[in-house]
Homo-oligomer: A and B are copies of this chain.
Amino acid sequence: MERFEVTYRIFADDQSDAESRAANIALEDTVEIPRDVVPAGYVEDVVLGRVESVVPEDEGTWLGRIGYHIDAVGRELPQFLNVVLGNASILHGVKAVALTPNAEVLDRFPGAQYGVEGLRKLTGRATGGYVCPVIKPQGSSSETLARLCYLTARAGADIVKEDHGLSNQDAAPFRERVKLAAEAVARANVERATEGDTAQSLYFPSIGGHGDEVRELAMYAQDAGASGILLIPGLFGFDAMNRLAQDPDFTLPIMAHPSHLGPYVLSPEAGYAHGMLFGTLMRLAGADISVFPNHGGRFGFSLAECEEIVEACRGDGPGLPILPSPGGGMSLDRLPDMMQLYGEDCVYLLGGSLLRYGDWIGDAIREMRTALDAT
């Protein structure tokens, strides 16, 4: 393919209006000048977006497929997103619903380091869903949080993930917290190994700090013994994630958190389709695990939207298939149903409700394991 393609859902009055709107998107996201002044030659033939097709979709909507040349992008992810949905993100009635990368896009943005298969090796869990407690709340001391890490790891958690609200606050500064928590999880892993457990807990601290410190903090976490990191692309940028994923010195898997990204999916008439944002773009930008709110929890994603995300995470490219990670107010009694929907290549989050167990939080982890394995 000479061009990569983005498919947009376009709200329009009729075929002619839809075609006109598609042509505007192609202009807006590349040259951003009126069509009649686009210079002939290279700019018109290569740089300008090209409308490939505009077909009716549903009542009042059309699907417009626009081809973009990699020359409009260059090599950096911010400009890639600028082409995919930069100024067009401000147009009413335009939603990016699918991406078809070409070889040049895949070369520049090769995706996840580990993905579904890699996580099987890292955890040592050959089959079954992953048990992932979320360590919180913020305001707790580093010692308190490290203790929760130890207890959940000791009880067999696959991934011990920090809450995305654990940043670099004074109650538990990033470096202090990560050091203590990594040690706690390592201790639990040693004890489990002594008992013959071949699986181990991976500890994913939440990167908290300034945007220009992401690499430094991620490398600190790696050196301190963390086995992955949690990053919020909606606050630090998708490029921050991609840079880590492609950094030869950074070798840990990355879990992406959806905080601050809600408006990109909530309106049917703006932003990205659920699968494109939480599946396709997360993959392209190097996430190994993509967190999103499960249907029926505190957030309002529908079953169909969650299915779309899962398909985009685990289906055909870009890059390796990655693990979906539904959360957002889940409890143990919902796990069997979730397992039916999401299957075993999935990271099952359990957050606030774990705290009801107090010192017996390990029981919750074991119950989660049992519930997942029983399905």
Contact = CB atoms under 8 A, between A and B. Distances in A.
Contacts of A235: 78-79, 81-82, 86, 237, 239
A242 B230 CA distance: 23
Interface stretch (A55-63, A123-131, A262-270): A262-270
B32 A163 contact: yes
Interface string A204-248: 000011111011000000000000000010111101100100000
Contact of A208 (B28, B76, B92, B351): B76
Contact of A293 (B90, B298, B352, B355): B90
A86 B233 CA distance: 11
Interface stretch (A166-174, A318-326, A333-341, A366-374): A166-174
Contact of A351 (B33, B298, B328): B33
Given A31-B165, A138-B72, A353-B34, A263 B260 contact: no
B90 A261 contact: yes
> In the assembly, how many copies of this chain are there?
2
Contacts of A43: 137-140
Nearest to A38: B137
A24 B298 contact: yes
A114 to B, nearest CB: 22
A71 B264 CA distance: 28
A353 B38 CA distance: 11
A332 interface: no
A92 B298 CA distance: 10
18 contacts: A28-B298, A31-B165, A33-B352, A42-B139, A76-B167, A78-B208, A78-B209, A78-B232, A78-B235, A79-B169, A82-B164, A82-B232, A86-B164, A87-B262, A89-B262, A90-B266, A92-B300, A236-B239
Interface of A: 24, 28-34, 37-39, 42-43, 46-48, 71-79, 81-83, 85-92, 136-140, 163-165, 167-171, 208-212, 214-215, 232, 234-237, 239-240, 243, 258-264, 266-267, 269-271, 293, 298-300, 328, 351-353, 355-356
